Amino acid sequence: MLRHVTNRILGQGLRLPATPAAVGGSGLPRMYHERVVDHYNHPRNVGSFDKNDEDVGTGLVGAPACGDVMKLQIKVDDETGKIVDACFKTFGCGSAIASSSLATEWVKGKKMEEVLTIKNTEIAKHLSLPPVKLHCSMLAEDAIKAAVKDYEDKHSK
């Protein structure tokens, strides 16, 4: 379902075509690192929590007109401050999907203060993102921060 949406959004602006990496003989330059392809084909934690749920923080970043929107949600154990579950839904290129998918993997089991230190550079390095796609990793970092902020805003009232 998610990939149907992303498959329809092709070829706008800078985004590389959303087909998995060209392998060998086609003569095309390598486009996506295998980790990106892996996340694209087997995205982790796709889904949605109820945003009205007390222990859920929702981060929504990006803009459809730009071609990238990420929704990243965390489920927090109020007592320990640990993120017990995370999910995402992303509208965008393969690198954006991989960045947010990776983000949900990295936040699970960590405390909120800890995930705020996750940097876009780490995400980009792990996925070997090319220069033009560094912006996707930044958006994923923003999504994590937005989710944490949302949870904290809910609990400060």
Partner 1 sequence: MDHLGTRKQETKSSGLLAVYSEEDSSVLPEEKYHRLANSTIHDLLEKLEEYGDSVEIDGFDVDYGNEVLTLKLGSLGTYVINKQTPNRQIWMSSPVSGPARFDWDQTAQAWIYRRTKGDLVKVLETELEQLCGKSINLSST
- The nearest distance, CB 131 to partner 1, in angstroms, is 4
Nearer to partner 1, 115 or 143 (CB): 143
Binds partner 1 (CB under 8 A): choice among 44, 104, 118, 142 = 142
Only one of the segments 16-24, 75-83, 105-113, 130-138 lies at the binding site for partner 1 (rule: CB under 8 A); that segment is: 130-138
Place of tokens 């295998």: 34
Place of tokens 């982790």: 44
**In the annotation, is 87 catalytic?**
no
**In the annotation, is 93 catalytic?**
no
Active-site residue, selected from the candidate residues 5, 23, 28, 66: 66
Site for partner 1 in 54-73 (CB under 8 A): 58-66, 69
Binding footprint of partner 1 on the chain (CB under 8 A): 13-14, 58-66, 69, 120-121, 124, 131-135, 137-138, 142-143, 146-147, 149-150
